[in-house]
C-alpha cells in the first residue's frame, strides 16, 4: 500500500486545510486533483513531514509519517512547484549533493548524478552552472535531484509547469516509464487533467480539504449503465416494448440515442431486439470524461 | 529524452546520521572559492607576516624600542595586542561577507526548501551553515595566531622561551573558538531570521561597529559612567580576549560585565535561531 490516511485533519489557525481525510492509495501512479485551496499542497507537506499531524494518522509505505519522517524522506523524491536551486554550482554538483544529503556515499552520489542527468536529458549540460538554466531545464533538474537517491515514491507538484509542448510530452513519457518500467509510485499534483490521464492509474479528488472521490482511470466508465445505441428497424414500437419491460430509453425515431442497461442486461436487450426484428448497429458504453468526473465530484461539494 | 538506462540501487538509501557534514562540505567549498572571501583572508593574514618578521627580528635581538619591542615580555604568549585586535577585526568583516550569504542570500533560490525536503532537520541545516562560517572565521583567528605562536617559539632566544609556555596554544585555541563561534552564531541567527542579504550585513555591521561608535561617544561625553564601555561589542570581545589569552581583565570599567553582555547577545542569537528554524521549516 502506498499511503493510508485515517481521519487526517490539519488547520492553518482557524482555517481548515484538511478535514477528516480517510483514504487508502494502492501502489502505482496516482493523480492528486482539486481546485485551489483543496488541500493538495498541505497533504504533500504532511506526507513529507514538513507539517506536524495534529489529528489523525498517516502511513506511507507502511511507515508512520509522524514518527519516521526522516527515514521516509530518504525514500521519497519530491519535485516541488517552486524553485529549489543551490546557486553557483553545476548541475552535476547539485544532483550529487542531493544524493549525499539523502544518504548516498560521495562516489555513489556522483555516479548516480551523472546517470540521472543523462536520463532526464541534461547529460550535455551537466557541467553548466544551474543559474543559467531555462525553466524547462530546471524542471528536468528538479526531477533529477528527486531521482538521484532512487526513491520508491516520487511526489511531483506541477512537473510540466513552464515547459513547451515537446518537453512536456517527454517529461510525461518519462514519468510514465518510471511508473510502469521502474516500479516507482507516483503522486502527481497538477491542474492539468491531461497530464494525470497520461501518467496515472487513478485520481484522488480533493475539495476544501475533503476527499471527494478516488477514481480509477482505467476502470472509469466500465460500471456505468449508460450506453450509446444505434438501431435500425421498427424503432417506435420497439421503444414502447422496451419501456414496458422496464428499460430506460432515450432514442429518437431514427434509432440514435442512449439506453440505460444494468449489469448483465445487455444480452437481454439484444434478445429483445432480435425478437422485435430490430438491428443493433452500435452499442457502446458511454464513458464520462475525466473533466466531467472532476467537475461532478467538485460540484458535489459546493 | 535519451534512452539512457535508469538503474535502481541494490538497497534503498539510509538517511545519514550527520547530513550537516555534506552541507558543510558543499558550502565550505562554495564560500572559500568566492573572490571576496579569498581577498579578505589574504588581507586578514598580512599581520601574520608582519608579526612573523617582527618576532624574527626580536628573536635575533635586532629590534629594540618601538611599539613592538615589548612584544614578548609584556604578553605571555608573545603576541602583540595589535595583531590580536587586527585578527578579530578581520573576523568581524569576514563574518559580514560570509554569514549573510549563507542563508539569506540563498533563500530566494529555494536552497532552504531543497534541504528541508531531504532527511535534514532545520536545526541540522542551521548547524551546518554555522559550522561553515565558524571554520572560515578560524582562518583569521586560530590559524594566524597559532602560526605566530609556533614561529615565536622557533625564533626567540632560549631565555625568552619561558614566556611562551605551551599552555599558550590552548589559550589561543580557546580564544579563537570563542570569537569565531560567537561571531558566526550571531551572523547565522541574523541570516536565519532575516530575509535580505544586504539587510543582514547591515545589521551585523551596525551591531559590531555601531555599538563601538555609540560606546565611544558615551565614553567621550561621560554618559553611562564606567559602564559606557559595556555597550561596545568589540570592547567586550577585547575584554574577553584578555581574560582568555592573558588571564586578566583588560579594563576595570566594565569588568565581568562583558561576559554578561555577550551572554545576553548569545541568548538573543538563540532566539533568532529558533525563529529562523521555524521560518525554515515553514517553507
d(CA B83, CA B238): 12
CATH number of A226-285: 3.30.70
pLDDT grade, residue A60 (50/70/90)? very high
Residue of A nearest to B118 (CA): A73
HEC string for A141-155: HHHHHHHCCCCCEEE
Above 80 in pLDDT, residue A19? yes
d(CA A286, CA A278): 21
pLDDT, residue A300, reads 64
Residue of A nearest to B31 (CA): A88
Closest residue by Cα to residue B191 from B149, B135, B128: B128
B48-96 pLDDT tens trace = 888 888 777 777 766 654 444 444 444 444 455 667 778 888 999 999 9
The answer to whether the CB atoms of B16 and A86 lie below 8 A apart is no
Burial of A292 (0-12, 13-18, 19+ CB in 10 A): exposed
A179-220 pLDDT tens trace = 988 889 999 998 888 899 889 989 999 988 888 888 887 666
pLDDT grade, residue B39 (50/70/90)? very high
pLDDT, residue A13, reads 86
Q: Are strands A153-157 and A76-79 parallel, antiparallel or unpaired?
A: parallel
- DSSP structure class, residue B230: G
Residue of B nearest to A117 (CA): B4
For CATH 3.40.50.300, the residue range(s) in chain A are 3-216
A22 Cα to chain B: minimum distance (Å): 24
Closest CB from A73, A118, A120 relative to B15: A73
A101-160 pLDDT tens trace = 999 999 999 999 999 999 999 989 999 999 899 988 999 999 999 999 999 999 999 899
Mean pLDDT in residue range A20-34: 91
Q: In chain B, what residues touch A71 (CB-CB under 8 Å)?
A: 14-15, 119
d(CA A258, CA A274): 18
Closest CB from A48, A70, A174 relative to B1: A174
A73 Cα to chain B: minimum distance (Å): 5
Q: How many alpha carbons lie under 13 Å from residue B69 in its C-beta half-sphere?
A: 7
- Residues of A in CB contact (< 8 Å) with B are 48, 50, 70-71, 73-75, 78, 80, 82-89, 93, 97-98, 100-104, 108, 112, 115-116, 118-121, 123, 145, 147, 149-150, 152, 170, 173-174, 178, 182-183
Q: Are strands A63-64 and A55-60 parallel, antiparallel or unpaired?
A: antiparallel
For CATH 3.30.70, the residue range(s) in chain A are 226-285
The answer to whether the CB atoms of A88 and B30 lie below 8 A apart is yes
CB B112 within 8 A of CB B103: yes
Residue of B nearest to A184 (CA): B8
Closest CB from B1, B22, B114 relative to A121: B1
pLDDT grade, residue B193 (50/70/90)? confident
pLDDT, residue B70, reads 46
The answer to whether the CB atoms of B22 and A86 lie below 8 A apart is no
Q: Are strands A248-251 and A256-260 parallel, antiparallel or unpaired?
A: antiparallel
pLDDT, residue B78, reads 46
Number of cross-chain residue pairs from A and B with Cβ atoms under 8 Å apart: 117
Q: In chain B, what residues touch A88 (CB-CB under 8 Å)?
A: 30
Q: Provide the CA B163 distance to its chain's centre, in angstroms.
A: 27
Q: Return the percentage of chain B with pLDDT > 70, whole number.
A: 88
Choice between A43 and B4, residue whose per-residue pLDDT is larger: A43
Residue of B nearest to A90 (CA): B30
A129 Cα to chain B: minimum distance (Å): 13
B204-247 pLDDT tens trace = 999 888 888 888 888 888 777 777 778 888 888 888 877 877 77
CB B67 within 8 A of CB B73: no
Q: What is the mean pLDDT of chain B?
A: 82
Residue of B nearest to A106 (CA): B22
Above 70 in pLDDT, residue A1? yes
Q: In chain B, what residues touch A150 (CB-CB under 8 Å)?
A: 8-9, 12-13
Instruction: State whether residue B3 sits within 8 Å of chain A by CB.
Output: no
- Could you report the predicted ipTM of this complex, rounded to two decimals? 0.83
Say how many Å lie between the first and final Cα of chain B, rounded: 32
The answer to whether the CB atoms of A87 and B106 lie below 8 A apart is yes
DSSP character string of chain A: --EEEEEEEEEETTEEEEEEEEEEE-SSEEEEE--TTSSHHHHHHHHTTSS--SEEEEEETTEETTT-HHHHHTTEEEE-SS----TTSBHHHHHHHHHHHTT--HHHHHHHHHHHHHHTT-GGGTTSBGGG--HHHHHHHHHHHHHTT--SEEEEESTTTT--HHHHHHHHHHHHHHHHTS--EEEEE-S-HHHHHHH-SEEEEEETTEEEEEEETTTTTTT--EEEEEEESSHHHHHHHHHHTT-EEEE-TTSEEEEE--TTHHHHHHHHHHHTT-EEEEEEEPPPPHHHHHHHHHHHH-
pLDDT, residue B66, reads 46
pLDDT grade, residue B10 (50/70/90)? confident
Mean pLDDT in residue range B190-214: 87
Nearest-5° Cα angle at A233, A231 to A234: 115
Q: Return the percentage of chain B with pLDDT > 90, whole number.
A: 26
What 3-state DSSP class applies to B137? helix
pLDDT, residue B220, reads 81
pLDDT, residue B245, reads 74
pLDDT, residue B82, reads 64
CB B128 within 8 A of CB A101: no
The answer to whether the CB atoms of A50 and B281 lie below 8 A apart is yes
Above 90 in pLDDT, residue B35? yes
Structural fold of domain A3-216: Rossmann fold (3.40.50)
pLDDT, residue B8, reads 82
The answer to whether the CB atoms of B120 and A101 lie below 8 A apart is yes
The answer to whether the CB atoms of A85 and B110 lie below 8 A apart is yes
The answer to whether the CB atoms of B117 and A150 lie below 8 A apart is no
d(CA B139, CA B149): 15
Amino acid at each position: 500500500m502506498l499511503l493510508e490516511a485515517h481521519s487526517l485533519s490539519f488547520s492553518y489557525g482557524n482555517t481548515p486545510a484538511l478535514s477528516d481525510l480517510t483514504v487508502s492509495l494502492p501502489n502505482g501512479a496516482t493523480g492528486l486533483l482539486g481546485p485551489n485551496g483543496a488541500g493538495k499542497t498541505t497533504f504533500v507537506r504532511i506526507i513529507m513531514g514538513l507539517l506536524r499531524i495534529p489529528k489523525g494518522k498517516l502511513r506511507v509505505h507502511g511507515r508512520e509519517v509522524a514518527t519516521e519522517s526522516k527515514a521516509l524522506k530518504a525514500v521519497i523524491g519530491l519535485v516541488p512547484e517552486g524553485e529549489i536551486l543551490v546557486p553557483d554550482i553545476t548541475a552535476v554538483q547539485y544532483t550529487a549533493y542531493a544524493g549525499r544529503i539523502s544518504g548516498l556515499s560521495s562516489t555513489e552520489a556522483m555516479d548516480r548524478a551523472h546517470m540521472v542527468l543523462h536520463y532526464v536529458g541534461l547529460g550535455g549540460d551537466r557541467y553548466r552552472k544551474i543559474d543559467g538554466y531555462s525553466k524547462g531545464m530546471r524542471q528536468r533538474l528538479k526531477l533529477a535531484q528527486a531521482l538521484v537517491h532512487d526513491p520508491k515514491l516520487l511526489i511531483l507538484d506541477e512537473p510540466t509547469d513552464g515547459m513547451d509542448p515537446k518537453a512536456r510530452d517527454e517529461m510525461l513519457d518519462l514519468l510514465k516509464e518510471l511508473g510502469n518500467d521502474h516500479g516507482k509510485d507516483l503522486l502527481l499534483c497538477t491542474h492539468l487533467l491531461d497530464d494525470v490521464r497520461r501518467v496515472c492509474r487513478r485520481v484522488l479528488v480533493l475539495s476544501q480539504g475533503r476527499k471527494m472521490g478516488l477514481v480509477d482511470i482505467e476502470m472509469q466508465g466500465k460500471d456505468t449503465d449508460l450506453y450509446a445505441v444505434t438501431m435500425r428497424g421498427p424503432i417506435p414500437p420497439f421503444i414502447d416494448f422496451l419501456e414496458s419491460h422496464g428499460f430506460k430509453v432515450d432514442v429518437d425515431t431514427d434509432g440514435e440515442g442512449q439506453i440505460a442497461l444494468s449489469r448483465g442486461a445487455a444480452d437481454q436487450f439484444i434478445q429483445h431486439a432480435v425478437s422485435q426484428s430490430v438491428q443493433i448497429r452500435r452499442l457502446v458504453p458511454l464513458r464520462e470524461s475525466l473533466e466531467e468526473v472532476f467537475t461532478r465530484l467538485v460540484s458535489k461539494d459546493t | 529524452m535519451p534512452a539512457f538506462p535508469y538503474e535502481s540501487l541494490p538497497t534503498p538509501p539510509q538517511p545519514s546520521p550527520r547530513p550537516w557534514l555534506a552541507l558543510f562540505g558543499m558550502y565550505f567549498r562554495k564560500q572559500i572559492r568566492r573572490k571576496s572571501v579569498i581577498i579578505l583572508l589574504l588581507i586578514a593574514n598580512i599581520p601574520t607576516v608582519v608579526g612573523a618578521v617582527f618576532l624574527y627580528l626580536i628573536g635575533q635581538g635586532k629590534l629594540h624600542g618601538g611599539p613592538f619591542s615589548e612584544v614578548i615580555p609584556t604578553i605571555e604568549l608573545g603576541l602583540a595586542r595589535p595583531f590580536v585586535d587586527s585578527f578579530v577585526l578581520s573576523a568581524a568583516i569576514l563574518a559580514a561577507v560570509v554569514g549573510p550569504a549563507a542563508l539569506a542570500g540563498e533563500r530566494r533560490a529555494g536552497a532552504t526548501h531543497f534541504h528541508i525536503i531531504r532527511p535534514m532537520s532545520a536545526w541540522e541545516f542551521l548547524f551546518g551553515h554555522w559550522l561553515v562560517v565558524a571554520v572560515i572565521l578560524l582562518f583569521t583567528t586560530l590559524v594566524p595566531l597559532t602560526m605566530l605562536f609556533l614561529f615565536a617559539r622557533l625564533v626567540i632566544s632560549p631565555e625568552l622561551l619561558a614566556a611562551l609556555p605551551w599552555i599558550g596554544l590552548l589559550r589561543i585555541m580557546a580564544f579563537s573558538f570563542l570569537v569565531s563561534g560567537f561571531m558566526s552564531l550571531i551572523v547565522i541567527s541574523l541570516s536565519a531570521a532575516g530575509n535580505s542579504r544586504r539587510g543582514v550585513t547591515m545589521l551585523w555591521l551596525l551591531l559590531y561597529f555601531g555599538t563601538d561608535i555609540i560606546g565611544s561617544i558615551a565614553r567621550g561625553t561621560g554618559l553611562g559612567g564606567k559602564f559606557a564601555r559595556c555597550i561596545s561589542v568589540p570592547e567586550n570581545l577585547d575584554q574577553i580576549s584578555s581574560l582568555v589569552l592573558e588571564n586578566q581583565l583588560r579594563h576595570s570599567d566594565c569588568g565581568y560585565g562583558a561576559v554578561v553582555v555577550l551572554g545576553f547577545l548569545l541568548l538573543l542569537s538563540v532566539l533568532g535561531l529558533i525563529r529562523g528554524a521555524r521560518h525554515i521549516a515553514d517553507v
